[in-house]
Amino acid sequence: MSGEQSSAPEPGRTTAEGGPAIRRLAEWNADRLHELAADHGTPLYVTDLDRVAENCARLRGAFPDADVKYAVKAHTGRAVLESVRESGLGAECASAGEVRRALDAGFPGDRVDYTAVNPPARDLDSVVEWWEEHPELTITVGARDTLDRLAERGYDGRVCVRVNPGVGAGHHEKVRTGAAPKFGVPYDRAPEVVDDARDRFDVVGLHAHAGSGIHGEEDLAAHRDLVARMGELAREVGDGQLEFVDVGGGFSVPYCEDDPALDLNAVADTTREALGDVDATLAVEPGRYVVADAGVLLTRVNTVKPTPETTVAGVDAGMTDLLRPAMYDAYHAIRNLDASEGSAEGPVTVAGPICETGDTFCDGRDLSIPERGDLLAVGNAGAYGYEMASTYNSRPRPAEVSLAGDVLRERETLAGVTRLERGGGGE
């Protein structure tokens, strides 16, 4: 099938600890995935915690002098957070909920950053309350309003100023954050915001994030521009007074079977070179790179329908379990774990059970033609997979297990879906 891995070596410094630059869907052990599906049912997320640790080790190897933080929103599960913490990464959190999860998973306050994007009052209240117990945590602020709102709450701790660098990168317009006015203070106004913040807070860093999906030359050039601009700004606002310059995440993973793996060392070299001489630690905050290839989604075929154009394989997972194809037109590799040598291939549309046209994982893709009951695996589902799951169509969210077989998140029940509803739900 087309998901077979090529035997050519992948780029990237690969230490024994860091493992290979990418783990392809074809490399997952089919027998093990069959066992897990039999034991826990489908749809089922399977997460390989060892692979999470390898990805962390590879990042630290490529950025030996940098502070590497994990963008928690890619996968917030406790076991993943613990694995990331044990691997020495910090936690970059997008909400009070993520800050709470990071602290609960044992990240010390000085390894926790809260990136507050239009923060709801409740989030600020909570984080300021937790800050009293964890005074070393850092709040990244992207608007002067947020500084005022923090001061009103008595916060005078560590602040990092998020800058809008005016450069975006990413695999889809919805993830190009660098140039979107929603994120960060405009580059030209950053020095005055930093000055203002210095009167009231301990300003420890500058931050920018260009978006999600640095892979090709073009994205790397955009990344280089962003980093260079951040280097300039760091020198302008006072070198030696900043602890770190955080240039964001967005390191890509190859979603297509024949996409090359990201050359992490080239990204690291470009980053260091573009930053130039600054008296502050470089920080990066990848999310998907840490978890994407550590997860697969297993789903079973329940309906097979030949049509003139394509064979529609109806499966028990849908956009409520893995939203990326419907939301970003994202490509995810799909492997039929029951395909035998020489199974017939043809255009296959893998479709979920939701009443939405967008609820397909692929349309007319060349795959081995599935039979009812076959088990399919969807690759690179570890990042923004479970996190974006919803209960639309009253669908309980799927279960998640580790590759070792531990239940990480139980399958949601229908009672769980309706429990907040008046007159509904309950056991």
- Annotated binding-site ranges: 250, 285-288, 324, 328, 356, 384
Which residue in the block uniquely carries the two structure tokens 């039979």?
371
For position 165 contacting ligand PLP by CB under 6 A, the verdict is no
Reference 66, options 289, 247, 237; nearest CA is: 247
Between 370 and 379, whose beta carbon lies closer to ligand PLP?
379
Between 177 and 311, whose beta carbon lies closer to ligand PLP?
177
CB of 4 to ligand PLP, least distance (A): 27
In 10 A of CB 210, how many CB atoms?
Answer: 28
Active site residue 355: yes
Tell me the window of 76-84, 96-104, 287-295, 409-417 that interacts with ligand PLP (CB under 6 A): 287-295
For position 285 contacting ligand PLP by CB under 6 A, the verdict is yes
| Contact predicate 116/98, CB 8 Å | no
User: Could you give the count of Cα atoms lying within 13 Å of 297 in the half-sphere of its Cβ?
Assistant: 30
Q: How far is CA 405 from CA 261, 337, 374, 383, 411, in A?
A: 28, 18, 21, 19, 14
For position 248 contacting ligand PLP by CB under 6 A, the verdict is yes
Between 127 and 301, whose beta carbon lies closer to ligand PLP?
127
| Contact predicate 419/396, CB 8 Å | no
Binding annotation for substrate: 288, 324, 328, 356, 384
Tell me the window of 24-32, 58-66, 216-224, 284-292 that interacts with ligand PLP (CB under 6 A): 284-292
Binding annotation for pyridoxal 5'-phosphate: 250, 285-288, 384
CB of 210 to ligand PLP, least distance (A): 9
CB of 109 to ligand PLP, least distance (A): 19
| Residue count (the chain) | 427
Cα–Cα distance for residue pair 318/302, rounded to 1 Å: 12
Find the binder of ligand PLP among 24, 40, 51, 73 (CB under 6 A): 73
In 10 A of CB 186, how many CB atoms?
Answer: 12
For position 90 contacting ligand PLP by CB under 6 A, the verdict is no
Between 3 and 90, whose beta carbon lies closer to ligand PLP?
90
Return all residues near 162 (Cβ < 8 A) that are at least 6 apart. Answer: 115, 140, 141, 142, 183, 184, 185, 206, 207, 208, 209
Return all residues near 64 (Cβ < 8 A) that are at least 6 apart. Answer: none
Cα–Cα distance for residue pair 100/182, rounded to 1 Å: 24
Query: Closest residue (Cβ) to ligand PLP?
Result: 287
Tell me the window of 5-13, 248-256, 302-310, 398-406 that interacts with ligand PLP (CB under 6 A): 248-256
The active-site residue out of 56, 160, 256, 355 is: 355
CB of 118 to ligand PLP, least distance (A): 12
CB of 384 to ligand PLP, least distance (A): 7
Cα–Cα distance for residue pair 244/213, rounded to 1 Å: 23
For position 249 contacting ligand PLP by CB under 6 A, the verdict is yes
Cα–Cα distance for residue pair 198/77, rounded to 1 Å: 35
CB of 393 to ligand PLP, least distance (A): 27
Find the binder of ligand PLP among 149, 176, 288, 335 (CB under 6 A): 288
Cα–Cα distance for residue pair 426/410, rounded to 1 Å: 17
| Contact predicate 233/190, CB 8 Å | yes
Q: How many residues bind ligand PLP (CB under 6 A)?
A: 17
Q: Give the catalytic positions in this structure.
A: 355
Contact residues toward ligand PLP (CB under 6 A) are 71, 73-74, 92, 94, 115, 209, 212, 248-251, 285-289
